[in-house]
């Protein structure tokens, strides 16, 4: 009888350990992102020759940075016409990337040259530049730091006066680290950003790096810009997201897209 009781105690102990391990694994897991629904409110023209890398809304105006060597620019855009109101062209060997505005300055990343250009926001006069290691992809600001990425799954928080990294947050969802995070926008304590080579925009908690919601723009593309669904070439992906904090609306476009969309996420 003692042997039988001992046997059942051993079995109970192993079962309890397995249950504890299962509960721990479950409790440590990341919840799959919720579906981020959206509504297209307005459609505006966009220069189809613009290889969009950065999009920003500031002082009731749209700003854009474009890429490709020999075609990169920084421009202030008339939303209703899609025309450049103010524009500067980058040197022919520079590939422009993400932009953001902070404290009266406009910051512009470059892809592989390791340079961040700093301009006077109103005049686009260049007033400085920073060097950094690795590639430059997207950039936004939380009002205190510049937040950039370089194609992996990390968000790099940088001091706007020195460009030194002060914090790094890895973006992760229930499947693991989320690579190729691209054009970001900081909105009410969260970061929305495009995932390169997909039709997704994700909503991230910048404190934990967890993806909490995800929008699929496939229906928008199929309905409004089906010509961009061209087999996975450069112009087929969304890549541009800006937010109007006054009007509570997002603006979304893509590389070489002929339209900009005013969108509300639900």
pLDDT digits (tens, 9 = 90+) for 97-150: 999 999 999 999 999 999 999 999 999 999 999 999 999 999 999 999 999 999
At 229 the pLDDT is 65
The pLDDT tens digits for 53-104 are: 999 999 999 999 999 999 999 999 999 999 999 999 999 999 999 999 999 9
Mean pLDDT of the chain: 88
pLDDT over 60 at 19, yes or no: no
pLDDT of residue 266: 87
Q: Which CATH architecture has domain 33-265?
A: 7 Propeller (2.130)
Task: Order the strands of the 73-77 sheet from edge to edge.
Answer: 52-58, 61-66, 73-77, 84-89
pLDDT greater than 70 at residue 13: no
Residue 203's pLDDT is 97
- Report how far apart, in Å, the C-alpha atoms of 173 and of each of 23, 79, 142, 153, 179 are: 19, 34, 22, 11, 10
Whole-model pTM: value is 0.86
Buried b (16+ CB within 10 A) or exposed e, 193-209: bbbbebbbbbbbebeeb
Helices (H), 132-202: none
Question: How would residue 37 be classed by pLDDT, with cut points 50, 70 and 90?
Answer: very high
Better-scored residue on pLDDT, 205 or 197: 205
**What's the Cα-to-Cα distance from 263 to each of 3, 41, 172, 226, rounded to whole Å?**
70, 6, 25, 18
Per-residue pLDDT band at 157 (split at 50, 70, 90): very high
- Reported for 162-170, long-range contacts at CB under 8 A and 24+ positions apart, including other chains, are 162/130, 163/116, 163/130, 163/131, 163/132, 169/206, 169/207, 169/208, 169/209, 170/209
% of the chain with per-residue pLDDT over 90: 83
Which pLDDT belongs to residue 234? 60
Where is pLDDT greater, at 200 or 5? 200
> Given pLDDT bands bounded at 50, 70 and 90, which one contains residue 228?
confident
Domain range summary for the chain, segments of one domain joined by +: 1-30, 33-265
How much is the average pLDDT of 189-208? 95
């Amino acid at each position: 009888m003692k042997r039988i009781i001992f046997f059942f105690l051993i079995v109970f102990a192993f079962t309890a350990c397995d249950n504890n391990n299962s509960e721990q694994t479950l409790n440590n897991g990341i919840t799959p992102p919720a579906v981020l629904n959206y509504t297209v409110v307005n459609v505006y023209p966009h220069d189809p020759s613009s290889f969009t890398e950065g999009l920003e809304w500031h002082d009731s105006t749209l700003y854009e940075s474009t890429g490709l060597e020999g075609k990169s620019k920084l421009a202030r855009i008339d939303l209703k016409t899609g025309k450049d109101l103010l524009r500067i062209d980058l040197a022919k060997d520079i590939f422009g990337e993400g932009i953001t505005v902070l404290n009266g300055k406009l910051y512009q990343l470059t892809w592989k040259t390791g340079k961040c250009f700093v301009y006077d926001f109103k005049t686009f006069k260049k007033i400085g530049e920073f060097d950094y290691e690795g590639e430059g992809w997207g950039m936004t600001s939380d009002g205190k730091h510049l937040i950039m990425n370089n194609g992996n799954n990390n968000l790099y928080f940088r001091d706007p006066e020195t460009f030194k990294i002060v914090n790094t947050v890895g973006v992760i969802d229930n499947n693991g680290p989320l690579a190729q995070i691209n054009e970001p926008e900081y909105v009410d304590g969260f970061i929305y950003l495009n995932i390169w080579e997909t039709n997704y925009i994700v909503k991230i908690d910048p404190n934990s790096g967890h993806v909490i919601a995800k929008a699929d723009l496939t229906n928008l593309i199929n309905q409004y810009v089906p010509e961009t669904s061209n087999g996975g070439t450069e112009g087929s992906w969304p890549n541009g997201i800006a937010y109007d904090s006054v009007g509570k609306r997002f603006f979304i476009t893509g590389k070489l897209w002929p339209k900009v969309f005013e969108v509300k996420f639900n």
